[in-house]
Structure 1
């Protein structure tokens, strides 16, 4: 049984004859007659009472007609659903992010996408960069907002730079280098509080690189997994820190956020996805994300 059998049956029932169904569907009358006879033979039920003047449904045919109409309606709905999904109007999308760098544009992006795609189920999951890369590879999330992707994931993921976050020196207010700008060589003798490489390898490596370029290796007093903990340790006098500027927390009263003189004191903030799990909906979201970026441009890795 095929959908055309059901369409022929509905047309014949509504037009009261095979000839009327043929005119309506723009096919030969013989095709209508043959296909409906094949349908009756296949299901083992007589659906029509045939005469030279009129074709009418049997009682079994009347019941079958109602089911046929529902099946055709369901099929049309399935087609429209697929087309809407292809246009990015419906579906689901899971977004990974970390709060330390998304900034004010991220909430605006989410609100804008929800407004433009009200039929999409959008979920957001806060994750470290490392966890996002793993989740993207497995398809747990669809798009990630992360730091530069580590080499081991670059064969599986694609990234585009959205903007570059400046690295600043975080020191207690009243520190001799505040308010900056700071020459890193003036911090060579300070104890450092670092962000863990396990959670943010790009930031950890950049700090080590900047210190090396300034001619010293940082004396590590403590390592923490999150930005807020690093700030607390600096407040407590454990040391100073080098971290990307966090706009949400840069107004902490007893800390100074000092720009660095080093010209490459920044880390990339990227949008990342897996080509193995890509979709039209995913592409629609990424296109909108680009329009909400305030960075100097984007380029693929």
Structure 2
């Protein structure tokens, strides 16, 4: 039974007239009669009792009317849902993000997205770079706000869009004698013990950090490699060493650290959006569009003063 035929049947049952159904369906009476006859032959039952003056449903017809209305409503609901999903108006959006790099702009961005797409379920996952790559492999996230793994490596099947460029800064204890200077040469700190983010959690950032030391002619004494930026701040604040990290971690809660620009080397630390692009989910597409629209605003907010 085709939905089109069931709609014809419902029209005849509603108007109790083949000619009335034909007018409502913008067709001709013989076409309506033919569809009803074919439906009765397919089911092997009479659906209508009719004479020259009236048309009535048989018991079988009454049963079919209930089921037809249910199936037509289900078809309409499915059609509407599929169209809304195709437009990105419903569905889900799972965002992996690095909290230290995104906490200043992501809440407002997600709020705007949710207001524009109230029927999309948004889920946020605070993950390291390596954790995000694993989440992509497991199909646990749809988009990642992340650091590139390495400069010359493009994850297979993922598109990459720049969100903003950050810089490496020195993280000093608040009571360090250089804590209040506007900038420091990394070479000046060559005899310090350094705390840098663990390689396994963000390989690209680790390599960029070592590149900064190399450019400054410094062989670093690495005393610790914490797995989180918050731990790095705690260790620096406790006087366990000098941190070197992206400027964005300044926005994490810490009243025991100072953040000072490095003036003898400049290493750009990009934050990028990565997502599957073949095919691209409509919900992801609309979020990427929103991200692009606010790109300049985000870059200004996250810039190193």
Q: TM-score, normalised on structure 1?
A: 0.91
Quote the residue 1:72 is aligned against: 72
Quote the residue 1:230 is aligned against: 232
Q: CA deviation at 1:122?
A: 1.0
Decide whether the 8 Å contact of 1:103 with 1:247 is kept in 2. no
Q: CA deviation at 1:17?
A: 2.0
Quote the residue 2:14 is aligned against: 14
Q: Does 1:98 find its partner at 2:98? A: yes
Q: Does 1:173 find its partner at 2:174? A: yes
Residue aligned with 1:92, SS: strand
Decide whether the 8 Å contact of 2:212 with 2:265 is kept in 1. no
Quote the residue 1:288 is aligned against: 290
Quote the residue 1:255 is aligned against: 257
Q: Does 1:209 find its partner at 2:215? A: no
Q: TM-score, normalised on structure 2?
A: 0.90
Q: State how far apart, in whole Å, the 2-side matches of 1:99 and 1:131 are.
A: 13
Quote the residue 1:188 is aligned against: 190
Q: CA deviation at 1:184?
A: 0.9
Decide whether the 8 Å contact of 2:147 with 2:204 is kept in 1. yes
Decide whether the 8 Å contact of 1:193 with 1:220 is kept in 2. yes
Residue aligned with 2:184, SS: coil
Quote the residue 1:268 is aligned against: 270
Q: State how far apart, in whole Å, the 2-side matches of 1:69 and 1:254 are.
A: 68
Quote the residue 2:26 is aligned against: 26
Structure 1, unaligned stretches of length 5 or more?
A: none
Quote the residue 2:303 is aligned against: none
204 and 54 in structure 1: CA distance in 2 versus 1, 3 angstrom threshold = same
Decide whether the 8 Å contact of 1:163 with 1:270 is kept in 2. yes
Residue aligned with 2:269, SS: strand
Q: Does 1:163 find its partner at 2:186? A: no
Quote the residue 1:51 is aligned against: 51
**Paired residues, what number?**
296
Q: State how far apart, in whole Å, the 2-side matches of 1:152 and 1:137 are.
A: 16
Structure 2, unaligned stretches of length 5 or more?
A: 301-305
Decide whether the 8 Å contact of 2:215 with 2:265 is kept in 1. no
Q: CA deviation at 1:261?
A: 0.9
Q: State how far apart, in whole Å, the 2-side matches of 1:240 and 1:56 are.
A: 89
Q: CA-to-partner distance for each residue in 1:103-154, whole Å, 9 max, x for gaps?
A: 3211101111121111111111111111112212432111111112445552
Q: CA-to-partner distance for each residue in 1:245-295, whole Å, 9 max, x for gaps?
A: 21333x633322111114533310111111246211111111112233334
Q: CA deviation at 1:42?
A: 1.5
Q: State how far apart, in whole Å, the 2-side matches of 1:113 and 1:168 are.
A: 32
Q: CA deviation at 1:223?
A: 1.1
Q: Which runs of 4+ in 1 moved over 4 A?
A: none
Q: State how far apart, in whole Å, the 1-side matches of 2:63 and 2:250 are.
A: 67
Q: State how far apart, in whole Å, the 2-side matches of 1:238 and 1:64 are.
A: 79
